[in-house]
Amino acid sequence: MNQSLIALLSMLVFAAPVHVHAEVASSEQGKVLWLQEVPVNGESRSCTTCHGTDLTQAGQHIKTKKPIEPMAKSVTTDRYEDPKKVAKWFKRNCKWTWGRECTAQEQLDILAFLKSQ
- Decide whether 19 or 84 has the Cβ nearer to ligand HEC: 84
- Distance in Å, CB of 103 to ligand HEC, minimum: 12
What is the distance between the terminal CA atoms of the chain, rounded to a whole angstrom?
A: 57
Cα four-point dihedral sign 69, 74, 79, 80: positive
d(CA 5, CA 90): 51
Q: How many residues bind ligand HEC (CB under 6 A)?
A: 20
- Distance in Å, CB of 49 to ligand HEC, minimum: 4
Contact status: 51 vs ligand HEC (CB under 6 A):
yes
Contact status: 47 vs ligand HEC (CB under 6 A):
yes
Contact status: 93 vs ligand HEC (CB under 6 A):
yes
- Residue pair 71/51 in contact (Cβ under 8 Å)? The answer is yes
d(CA 103, CA 93): 13
| Contacting residues toward ligand HEC, per CB under 6 A | 47, 49-51, 61-62, 68-69, 79-80, 85-86, 89-90, 93-94, 96-98, 110
